[in-house]
Structure 1
Amino acid sequence: MFTPHTPENVTKRLGFLCAFGACTGVSLGPLLGAVADIQPSIIPTAFLGSCAIFGSLSLAALYAERRSMLFLGGFLISGLNMLVMMLFFNIFLGSYMVFQLDVYGGLILFCGFVLFDTQLIVERFNNGDDDYVRHSLDLFLDFINIFRRLLVILASKVCLLL
């Protein structure tokens, strides 16, 4: 994101995006391993659920009235800040309820980010910003956060049944 968007930097920026994606995949490894130990079928279920959520919300944002979701930006950033502060305090509290609030609240929050980011990308493109690497990063982060939270939710539900 800090490398200027110029034709000379496209390969470097795509390389950074691929490296970021690889690091994200590596950081998902322990969670995927833990979930696979519980029940391996959770992983494709969470992936397909994330695809369905992401795809349907992206389509909803694309077909909604132009700029109708951009008002969500302030609420979403405020909610994200509250989640981060809550998680910081939960380091000392160790509350299961705060953890659950983070998982479910974060899922709702990142669903809102899919709506917001999709419309923001369309609006930026209409205003001449064709930085597809940055736009890809925004949507990638939304998808990964939804996927992580769905993994945790499904794994916790299966653990309750066992």
Structure 2
Amino acid sequence: MEAFFSGQYSARGWSYESLKNFRQISPAVQNHLKLVCAFIPVDFPVYLTLCSALVSAAAGVYLHILFNVGGTLTMLGCFLGISVISMTPPYAEKKRFGLLMGTALLQGASIGPLFEVILNLDSRIILNGLVGTSLAFACFSGAAIVAKRREFLYLGGFLSAFLSVLLWMQFASTIFGQNATMFNVELYLGLLVFLGYIVFDTQVIIEKAHRGDLDYVKHALTLFTDFVAIAVRILIIMGGVAALPSLARGGES
């Protein structure tokens, strides 16, 4: 800790001088992020890996709709997969890539019940929600890429604080019960927090890549969790809005 504040942490650690360095990302880091690769799944860049994980998650949603497999077990399996990926050495690329696809599949199955409910309500909501999520993700992640290095890393403290508030709100809701106002606050505040995490995590990934950490599987997993968290909240918001007219008609009858 003393070494950190003295600016002499280590060659790979943080220092005050390094925090003031806002050099643009290098070509090597740009290639780490771009959608280009020669062999699959070797040398897989971050965003192409992310797209593969999203396709796997979509397959998980489809499996739930067909066989009703999503639930607590798939969610626990998803958490276990994330832990195994973190403990697997980075050089085992094919194994970690397969684990990521399996984890994304389980994540998709876990959120499958939400998609099933929205499909019964209005299938167009899913397309609109996913398109909106993709546009939001592209805009916020793109803004982090073209910005100066470490320009948005200060958001980490604020986002962590708001995330803690969300966790305490959910904890309080389980004890005292949840009303509509509390649910909406959690929903919209959570959406803003994870939009901020897209910017923050993208810049963290860029900084790690500059420091030699080209673990594209772990980086894609980070962005994948942000994407899913935003998509779920957008779909809930749009699904709730779409349900209002039907509820009003039901009240009139």
Q: Is residue 2:230 matched to residue 1:114?
A: no
Amino acid in structure 2 at the alignment position of 1:20: T
Amino acid at match of 1:13: R
Q: How far off its partner does 1:71 sit?
A: 0.4
Provide structure 2 residue ranges, at least 5 long, that are not aligned to the other structure: 1-85, 247-253
Is 2:60 the counterpart of 1:2? no
Instruction: Return the letter of the residue paired with 1:116.
Output: F
Pairing of 1:49-128 with structure 2 (within 5 A): 49-92=132-175, 93-128=177-212
Match of 1:44 among 91, 113, 127: 127
2:138 alignment partner, SS class? helix
Cα distance in 2 for residues equivalent to 1:99 and 1:19: 31
Q: How does 1:7-26 map to 2 (within 5 A)?
A: 9-26=92-109
For residue 5 of structure 1, what is the amino acid of its counterpart? Answer: P
* Partner deviation per Cα, 1:130-157 (whole Å, 9 max, x = no partner): 0000000000000001100000000011
Counterpart CA distance in 2 for 1:64 and 1:80 is 24
Describe the superposition over 1:84-130 as per-residue Cα deviations: whole angstroms up to 9, x where unpaired: 11112112322211111111011100000000001110111011000
Structure with the higher fraction of residues in helix conformation = 1
Percent identity, aligned pairs only, is 37
Larger radius of gyration: 2
Return the alpha-carbon distance in structure 1 between the equivalents of residues 87 and 180 of structure 2.
37
Q: Give the letter for the 1:46 counterpart.
A: G
Q: Which runs of 5+ in 1 are unaligned?
A: none
Q: 2:35 — aligned with what?
A: none
**Alignment pair present for 1:155 and 2:213:** no
Instruction: Tell me the alpha carbon deviations over residues 42-80 of structure 1, each in whole angstroms, 9 at most, x when there is no partner.
Output: 000000000000000011111112111100111111211
What TM-score do the two structures reach when normalised by structure 2? Answer: 0.62
Task: Specify which structure has the bigger relative contact order, considering alpha-carbon pairs within 8 angstroms and separated by 6 or more residues.
Answer: 1
Report the 3-state secondary structure (helix = DSSP H, G, I; strand = E; otherwise coil) of the residue aligned with 1:113.
Answer: helix
| Structure 1 CA distance for aligned equivalents of residues 87 and 131 of structure 2 | 32
Question: After TM superposition, what 4+ stretches of structure 1 lie above 3 angstroms from structure 2?
Answer: none
CA distance in 2, matches of 1:94, 1:103: 12
| Structure 2 Cα separation of the partners of residues 3 and 156 of structure 1 | 40
Residue 87 of structure 1 contacts residue 98 of structure 1 at CA under 8 Å; is this kept in 2?
no
The size of the alignment, in residue pairs, is 160
For the 8 Å contact 1:62–1:119, the answer to whether it is kept is: yes
TM-score (norm 1): 0.95
